[in-house]
């Protein structure tokens, strides 16, 4: 697949780049996509939630009333989960949600996600650029020129650039990540993928012979 290379003003530079079929044209594997996205979200969970059960709640352990003859249900101590302020039954405790996923599955998932975007025509290739300032206004102008204003967009940049990151961080529908950090979840979240020319080389090297 060949795509025209645009400049930051949305103009055709007259050059074209070829997207490798082994990366952008594979048969998508939906289950691999599901597993990779699930792992990404699981790894972001803090898992610090905690609740107090009967043994953790302060209160007397004295039996509230006699076992029989009251005509009502049996009750133990005041820490009974039925009572207000009592312990919670089977409440959550600190837990690590991370799980292992084979590298080959991750590669298949990311290739599948990129292939979906390529098939739907949601990939744009832009020549490399670096902003001279970190003003959000400058980055918004780029989005406007590329006809991506108010659209959920993911920019894949070849290397870290503080000005570009700072200019884009206040735009809630736009996200920048380095090409080396490409992941299935971010690809699927975006409606449009903007790949800088230099990022294509990084992606090709990342998935070569994998």
Distances in Å between the Cα of 145 and the Cα atoms of 8, 12, 138, 153, 186 are 7, 12, 11, 14, 23
Write down the pLDDT at residue 115. Answer: 95
What is the total residue count of the chain?
Answer: 210
Write down the pLDDT at residue 143. Answer: 93
210 has pLDDT over 70: no
209 has pLDDT over 80: no
- The stretch 126-136 carries a mean pLDDT of 91
Please give the backbone phi and psi of residue 101, each rounded to the nearest 5 degrees, phi first.
-140, 130
Q: Contact at 8 Å (CB) between 153 and 173?
A: yes
Q: Per-residue confidence at 94, pLDDT binned at 50, 70, 90?
A: very high
Q: What is the mean pLDDT of the chain?
A: 92
17 has pLDDT over 70: yes
Distances in Å between the Cα of 136 and the Cα atoms of 57, 62, 146, 169, 174 are 51, 64, 16, 8, 11
User: For the structural domain made of 2-46+101-207, what CATH number should be given?
Assistant: 3.40.1370.10
Write down the pLDDT at residue 42. Answer: 96
Residue 9 CB burial class (10 angstroms; 0-12, 13-18, ≥19) = exposed
**Extents of the domains making up the chain:** 2-46+101-207, 51-91
170 has pLDDT over 80: yes
161 has pLDDT over 90: no
Distance (Å, whole) CA 37 – CA 186: 9
């Amino acid at each position: 697949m060949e795509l025209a290379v645009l400049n930051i003003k949305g103009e055709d530079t007259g050059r074209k780049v070829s997207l490798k079929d082994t990366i952008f044209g594979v048969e998508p594997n939906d289950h691999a996509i599901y597993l990779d996205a699930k792992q990404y979200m699981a790894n972001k969970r803090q898992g610090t939630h905690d609740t107090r059960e009967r043994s953790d709640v302060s209160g007397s352990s004295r039996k509230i009333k006699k076992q029989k003859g009251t005509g009502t249900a049996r009750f133990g101590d005041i820490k009974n989960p039925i009572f207000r302020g009592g312990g919670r039954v089977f409440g959550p405790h600190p837990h690590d949600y991370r799980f292992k996923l084979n590298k080959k599955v991750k590669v298949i998932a990311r290739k599948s996600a990129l292939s979906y975007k390529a098939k739907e025509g949601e990939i744009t290739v832009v020549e490399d650029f670096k902003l001279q300032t970190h003003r959000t206004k400058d980055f918004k102008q780029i989005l406007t020129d590329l006809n991506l204003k108010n659209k959920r967009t993911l920019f894949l940049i070849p290397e870290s650039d503080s000005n570009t990151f700072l200019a884009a961080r206040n735009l809630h529908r736009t996200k920048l990540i380095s090409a080396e950090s490409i992941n299935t979840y971010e690809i699927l979240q975006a409606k449009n993928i903007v790949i800088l020319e230099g990022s294509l080389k990084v992606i090709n090297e990342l998935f070569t012979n994998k």
